[in-house]
Amino acid sequence: MKYSYLGKSGLKVSQLCLGTMNFGPETEEKEAFRIMDAALDAGINFFDTANVYGGNDRRGWTEEIIGRWFQQGGGRREKVVLATKVYNDMFDEQDGPNSGAGLSAYKIRRHFEGSLKRLQTDHIELYQMHHIDRNVSWDELWGAFEILVSQGKADYIGSSNFAGWHIAAAQAKAKERHFLGLVSEQHLYNLLERTPELEVLPASQELGLGVIPWSPLAGGLLGRNALSKTGVRSARSAKLEQHRSQLEQFSALCKELGEHEDQVALAWVLANPAVTAPIIGPRTLEQFEDSLRVTEIVLEADVLKKLDEIFPGPGRPAPEAYAW
């Protein structure tokens, strides 16, 4: 496994991040334990979760599974750079009128403590805002996060699903407060969704954030079985037909390379210098093991050019992409 610094921080994380969203609803606990053990054996030290993972009927389930895995000992907790998130409604009656999606100093304090309890740990390496809350000032947010960092409960703060200008505003206010600010941005980025190349990726690079792409396989559309009848769930069938021509060209190129589609799609994301680690979200141990080869795949310039032709992005960052 290869490692990179997480943004401008001194923290080194594996170039693949283990996503745990499937743990519970899609992957039973025993299999989740096997996947996490295999991840450590493979050198993956970066695990990502969120307080809401587990489904609407059991939010927090995924964190609970990870917490029980930590309690097996063997250095499991010590070896993991743990990332979780806050923003969404946890359906907690005690939140009263402060329930619902959003951020506030009140919510950050309460939901952080809830995550610690479920994860059975006393600290979190990377605490991330799951979404922007336009109703809350950065003075309030940074004040809340500074307390967690000063208490040693959180090491770093990250964002997710932020626009480029949100990142810029956050970093400007953090600098004003003499605080490190954001070290990462978790963002939707893949061959079929290249909009972040306009603003988010350049802003992150310039302002010291490592980008952690989620859904690098576009919900399975860039997977090896996408073109088969069983490769993509029915909810994705419309998108499959929309992109069928591109996906057929992509599949043919991967065959020429002698690599599977999902591995090439992940390698393409990882090749971007703004990216620290794409999130892989295996449902089974076999899927996880198939992902490990990605960091060894080098896509040559001619291959990258062909991928640009199949999946054209904006071409350049903003404003050059749409102005003279």
Residue 168, domain CATH? 3.20.20.100
Supply the pLDDT for residue 236.
74
Residue 59 lies in a domain: yes
| Distance from C-alpha of 8 to C-alpha of 30, rounded to nearest angstrom | 36
List, in sequence order, every residue forming a beta bridge with 214; answer none if it has no partner: 188
Measured over the CA atoms of residue 75, residue 76, residue 80 and residue 85, the dihedral's sign is negative
Residue 178 lies in a domain: yes
pLDDT along the chain (324 residues), means of 10: 97 98 97 98 98 95 98 98 97 89 96 98 98 97 98 98 98 98 98 98 98 97 86 71 96 97 97 97 94 94 98 95 92
Residue 318 lies in a domain: no
Total domains in the fold of the chain:
1
List, in sequence order, every residue forming a beta bridge with 18; answer none if it has no partner: 47, 280
Supply the pLDDT for residue 297.
95
**Identity (one letter) of the amino acid at 246?**
Q
- Cβ proximity of 278 and 270 under 8 Å: yes
In eight-state DSSP terms, residue 139 is H
Supply the pLDDT for residue 232.
53
- What DSSP string runs through 48-67? E--TTTT-TTSTTHHHHHHH
Residue 319 lies in a domain: no
In terms of Cβ atoms closer than 10 Å to its own Cβ (0-12, 13-18, 19+), residue 122 is exposed
**Identity (one letter) of the amino acid at 31?**
E
Residue 86 lies in a domain: yes
Please say if 106 is a catalytic residue: no
Residue 40 lies in a domain: yes
Residue 43 lies in a domain: yes
pTM for the complete prediction? 0.95
* Structural domain boundaries enclosing 91: 3-310
Residue 320 lies in a domain: no
In eight-state DSSP terms, residue 96 is G
Supply the pLDDT for residue 231.
54
Separation in Å, CA 236 to CA 189, 222, 226, 240, 299: 17, 11, 10, 6, 28
Given 5, 53, 87, 189, the catalytic residue = 53
Supply the pLDDT for residue 278.
98
Supply the pLDDT for residue 237.
83
Supply the pLDDT for residue 235.
57
In terms of Cβ atoms closer than 10 Å to its own Cβ (0-12, 13-18, 19+), residue 323 is exposed
| Distance from C-alpha of 172 to C-alpha of 166, rounded to nearest angstrom | 10
Supply the pLDDT for residue 106.
96
- Cβ proximity of 33 and 287 under 8 Å: no
